[in-house]
Amino acid sequence: PDLAAGTGSGTGISSAEAGLVDIGGTDAYLSPSVAAQHNLINVPIAISSQLIFYNLPGVTAHLNLNGTVLAMIWAGKITQWNDPLIQAANPGVSLPAQTIIPLHRSDGSGDTFMFTSLCFMSWSGWRGGYGTTYSWVAGQPGYRGEQRHGDRPSRHQVRHRL
C-alpha cells in the first residue's frame, strides 16, 4: 500500500518534482512553468486558512491587524505594539510601548506562501515577492520556527510576539 507522510509543503513540492512521490500535497500552487517543467498538474482539493496568533500580556481585547499592518510588521516598518496604525485599528485598546517580535517558518512552507502572498497583495511596500521560502528582514528581532515542533519557542515563552 502507498503511505502518506506528514511533511511540509516544501517537501511535498520537491518530492513531486523529483519523481519520488505520485502526489505531493501543498498549500502553495505550482506556477504553470514549474508544473510544465516537471510534468506536474495542480489539482485543487481544499481551501486552506491561516491564523495569526499574538502574545501580548495585559491586553485582553481581540486585536484587529489587517494585511497592510501585518506586512509592515514583518518588513520591519512597524516595530512597536503601540504604533499609530495598530492603535487606529483598535480604538479604546491600551497598547504597550513594547517591541513586536515576529515569528516565521524557516523551512519551505505553504504557510509562508500564504502569508507572503497576503503581504504582497496588501501593501505596495512589500519587497521580495512571495513563495514557500522567503528572505526575511535581517537584523530584525524575531524567531525562526523550525519544522520540528520542539525547536519552536512556545506561545508562552516569547512575550510580545506575533
Average pLDDT on 40-64 reads 89
d(CA 63, CA 54): 9
**Phi, then psi, of 31 in degrees rounded to 5:** -65, 155
Q: Write the DSSP symbol of residue 89.
A: H
Strand segments, DSSP code E, in 21-90 are none
Q: What is the pLDDT of residues 62-109, one digit of tens each?
A: 999 999 999 999 999 999 999 999 999 999 999 999 999 988 877 778
* Mean pLDDT score across all residues of the chain: 83
d(CA 134, CA 107): 9
Q: Which three cell numbers stand for residue 144?
A: 525562526
d(CA 26, CA 8): 7
What are the percentages of helix, strand and coil residues in the chain, rounded to 5?
Answer: 30, 5, 65
Least confident of 60-64, 127-131, 150-154: 150-154
Q: What is the pLDDT of residues 3-35, one digit of tens each?
A: 666 677 778 888 888 888 888 878 888 888 988
- More confident site: 45 or 100: 100
Average pLDDT on 96-124 reads 90
State yes or no: pLDDT of 150 exceeds 50: no
The answer, as to whether pTM is greater than 0.85, is no
Give the chain's domains with CATH numbers: 1-48 (no CATH), 67-151 (3.40.190.10)
Q: Which three cell numbers stand for residue 95?
A: 497598547
What local confidence, expressed as pLDDT, does residue 83 receive? 98
- More confident site: 26 or 150: 26
d(CA 69, CA 65): 6
Residue closest to 60 by CA, chosen among 98, 95, 25: 95
Buried b (16+ CB within 10 A) or exposed e, 51-72: eeebbbeebeeebebebbbbbb
Are 143 and 137 spatial neighbours (Cβ–Cβ below 8 Å)?
no
